[in-house]
Amino acid sequence: MTRRILCLPGDGIGPEVMQEARRILDGLARNQSGHDAGMIGAIQVEEDVVGGAAIDIHGCPLTQDTLQRARDADAVLLGAVGGPQWDDLPFDQRPERGLLGLRKGLDLFANLRPAQVFSALADASTLKPELVNGLDIMIVRELTGGIYFGQPRGIEDLGDGRRRGINTLAYESDEVKRVARVAFDLARRRNKHLCSVDKANVLEATVLWREEVIRVHADYPDVALSHMYVDNAAMQLVRDPKQFDVIVTTNMFGDILSDAAAMLTGSLGMLPSASLGAPRDDGRRPGLYEPVHGSAPDIAGQGKANPLAMILSLAMALRYSLDARQAADKLEAAVARVLEQGARSADTARDGHPALTTSQIGSRILEELANG
Ligand code: IPM
Ligand code: MG
């Protein structure tokens, strides 16, 4: 069966890092390693625009046609969206709406954000190496509900020059249960510890969150469940991050905590993410795979971008949507080896060591894949 992959390079450094992911995808498809026939089977790669790139061409950040192509794909790879030239557009026409439209339109409710420290990079963290060396956390962020999408929302005119801004935090039990199951399943395959993060001392929507997570726990007696308030979780993440295995939390708490967790690893340029929907009837699981970093317009087009977050996002796509776990393992191992050999892009370069360009890093990964 031929797998369809839709690439959406997006804006800023998105196209540069996507180019490296595509070279690697082509390499895997061509069986570059020679002795490892059929590493990922037949693939068909398509490309389309999203975010600012789509605004420039179509006048909106995500067309219905692109959304439909994303729905028809087995996996969507996304670079990054946004840039200063689109910052003055009305809220609902900004590049970010393209990303939110894809998440909602594909019902990608579970956002997996691993924060993993490659031992070769332990000294890149702002935390002491002993606090982060070996760190391996998986944050599961609810992605299609909560305050990001709750109604009512908007800005009301109250007259007399006074205004009111409104957003709504609401969760239904099924929304909590389905993301909790994804998190429990992951914890089961890891160190069997799930921490659910809420604000149940203040917010009713998260009282419900906690109760529903406890209900789902009944099906996972082999996984230890704990609960933490979000303020404490933020503090614990920088105090002793290795206490965590899998964290599951709401859309907005996950947005914030995943940035903090990302920085523990020393480089935002290293972190991939996967956004998953429910498995379809044919067993396939749609997914959107993107780096955690943004479009970094200040360094776009200079070969300074680190392509590894995009490449590791491709590895997640191979693992979760393309039924190619072995290829995913090989790709992740190739990344670790290239880092151990001292290859660094500008963001992680050490004093006195020249940085490699975006495409040089991509080439090194390709060579390692061929050797490994
Ligand atoms: C993220 C980003 C997005 C979010 C923005 C760009 C809409 O911060 O993926 O974490 O808030 O979800
Ligand atoms: Mg964010």
pLDDT tens for the chain, residues 1 to 372:
889 999 999 999 999 999 999 999 999 988 644 444 457 888 899 999 999 999 999 999 999 999 999 999 999 999 999 999 999 999 889 999 999 999 999 999 999 999 999 888 888 888 999 999 999 999 999 999 999 999 999 999 999 999 999 999 999 999 999 999 999 999 999 999 999 999 999 999 999 999 999 999 999 999 999 999 999 999 999 999 999 999 999 999 999 999 899 889 877 888 999 999 998 888 778 899 999 989 999 999 999 999 999 999 999 999 999 999 999 999 999 999 999 999 999 988 877 778 999 999 999 999 999 987
Rounded distance from Cα 292 to ligand 1 centre (Å): 9
259 given a catalytic annotation: yes
Residue 175 and residue 280 in contact, taking contact as beta carbons nearer than 8 Å: no
Q: What is the pLDDT of residue 144?
A: 96
- Residue 199: active-site member: yes
| Residue from 240, 146, 227 nearest 183 by CA | 227
> Which of these is catalytic: 36, 136, 185, 255?
255
Q: Is 320 a catalytic residue?
A: no
> 221: CA distance to ligand 2 center in Å?
32
What's the CA-to-centroid distance between 353 and ligand 1, angstroms?
33
Q: What is the pLDDT of residue 354?
A: 84
CB atoms within 5 A of ion ligand 2 belong to 255
Both structure tokens of 51: 């975010």
Ligand nearest, relative to CA of residue 104: 1
Alpha carbons 293 and 8: distance in angstroms, whole number:
15
- CB of 288 closer than 8 Å to CB of 244: no
What is the rounded CA–CA span in Å between residue 289 and residue 317? 6
CA distance 113 to 141: 8
- Choosing from 148, 220, 289, 320, the catalytic residue is 148
The full DSSP string for 84-137 is GGGTTS-GGGSHHHHHHHHHHHTT--EEEEEEE--GGGGGGSSS-HHHHTT-EE
Q: Ligand 1: which residue has its CA nearest to atom 11?
A: 255
* Residue nearest to ligand 1 atom 6, measured at CA: 96
Is 220 an active-site residue?
no
Asked if 177 is an active-site residue, the reply is no
**DSSP annotation of 277:** -
Query: Which phi-psi region, left, alpha or beta, contains residue 134 (left: φ > 0; alpha: ψ -120 to 50)?
Result: left
- Tell me, what's the pLDDT at 31? 61
If you measure from the C-alpha of residue 324 to the centroid of ligand 1, how many angstroms do you get, rounded to a whole number?
A: 28
Question: What is the structure's pLDDT at 36?
Answer: 46
Catalytic residue among 72, 231, 240, 298: 231
Token match 């975010």: residue?
A: 51
- Which atom of ligand 1 is closest in space to residue 143's alpha carbon? 12
Going by CA atoms, what residue is nearest to atom 12 of ligand 1? Answer: 255
Give the pLDDT of residue 37: 46
* Nearest-CA residue for atom 10 of ligand 1: 255
Which residue's alpha carbon is nearest to atom 8 within ligand 1? 255
Catalytic annotation, pick one of 74, 199, 289, 320: 199
Biggest alpha carbon–alpha carbon distance for the chain: 74
**Closest by Cα among 252, 290, 249 to 271:** 290
Cα gap 65→81, rounded to integer Å: 18
Question: Closest ligand 1 atom to the C-alpha of 81?
Answer: 6
The dihedral sign for the CA sequence 187, 191, 193, 194:
negative
What pLDDT is recorded for position 92? 85
Closest ligand, as measured to the CA of 61: 1
pLDDT, position 35? 44
Helices 173-189 and 204-217 pack at an angle, to 10 degrees, of 50
- Residues 155 and 109: their CA atoms lie apart, in Å, by 26
**From CA 319, how far away is CA 113, in angstroms rounded?**
14
Residue owning the nearest CA to atom 5 of ligand 1:
96
Residues lining ligand 1, Cβ inside 6 A: 96, 99-100, 255
Give the span between the Cα atoms of 166 and 150, in whole angstroms: 10
